[in-house]
Amino acid sequence: MKIVFAEYPETRNRNIDTELFYIPQDAEVGFAVYDENNLDQYYKDLSDCDAVITGFAPIGETAIDHMKNCKIISVQATGWNFVAHEYARSKGIAVSAIGEYCTKEVADHTIMLMLALRKRLPYLQRRVNKEKVWETASLETLGIKGVYGQTLGIVGLGKIGKAVATRAQAFGMRVIANDPFVPDSDFEKVGAEKVSIEYLLRNSDVVSSNMNLNDTNVNYFDAEKFDMMAGKKPIFLNVSRGGEVDEQAMLDALDSGKILAAGLDVLVSESPDLNACPFIDREDCIVTPHSAFYSDDSIEACERISVENALYYINGQPEKVFKLVQNPKA
């Protein structure tokens, strides 16, 4: 058995001790590095695997064509938008993901971004850390508000969206939400008002994207939707997937004042050029490196489950896979 880890160049040397603990000692372990300047090597290193474990390195159709012996692509994440999963099915390769492992961490991160931007933390950090200035008089010009009594609009009321709703209510916020794929009872359980997307965007002080990315919601937050936010000038948060947002439209909305600020744990690219990123070094933006999921506990669970998923499937126990996105044998 050969298990290959698909990685970006930046993560090639990450610690995989947890995964190795669960991989059988007689298994061969390899790496395939997704380097856009050397994709032939990437495809070659994937070619003789029985299973691929990937966090965010893309597994597209060309890669799959080279994976002649592969039985399963095990995704170390809750989303699998970077895997050509239907094409994999056509080639007899299963795809698994991790159903849940970091809900609390991502919800906490969402609230952290909201509070930091509402209290203008980037401005305060610059004044104290860089300029060595200790004063509050300038805050009068910034329009700082508390979150108590404000409205949080959640787009996508899945596990993470529900956890965000519960946390926001603890701060005294009104929570409204839009998700056409969950029953009304889910809204009621967390005390969120079910509203149209138009109402949400026009009436929220904070808009939080908590959707799963799929073919139907790429660039979901486009110029038209940011225009709808212009009346309230909300804080916009994205801790789900960068592909859900038209980045140029978001940049235009920031520059024109249609949104007050943006808290971003994700960008369209999973390997962005930060020197060219227009959201870096802005006091109306906080950008984190797709790290909302991270805690010592969550990362251990993620790494363990991804290996278990691959081994369960290879050993003929698909019913034990945490989340089997598709099973070509079913």
Q: Which residues are catalytic?
A: 241, 270, 290
- DSSP letter for 139, please: G
56 with 293: CB under 8 angstroms? Answer: no
Determine if residue 143 is left, alpha or beta; phi over 0 gives left, psi from -120 to 50 gives alpha, anything else beta.
left
Q: What distance lies between CA 173 and its chain's CA centroid? A: 24
- DSSP letter for 240, please: S
- DSSP letter for 162, please: H
Stretch (H or E) spanning 204: none
d(CA 108, CA 120): 18
Residue 59 phi, psi (nearest 5): -120, 90
- DSSP letter for 27, please: S
**How many other C-beta atoms can be found within 10 angstroms of the C-beta atom of residue 306?**
27
d(CA 56, CA 65): 19
210 with 239: CB under 8 angstroms? Answer: yes
C-alpha closest to that of 307 among 31, 54, 32: 54
Return the exposure string of 210-246: e unless at least 16 CB atoms fall within 10 Å of the residue's CB, then b.
bbbbeeebeebbeeebbbbbeebebbbbbbbbbbbbb
d(CA 141, CA 119): 13
100 with 78: CB under 8 angstroms? Answer: yes
Determine if residue 73 is left, alpha or beta; phi over 0 gives left, psi from -120 to 50 gives alpha, anything else beta.
beta
Reduced to 3 states (helix: H, G, I; strand: E, B; else coil), residue 140 is helix
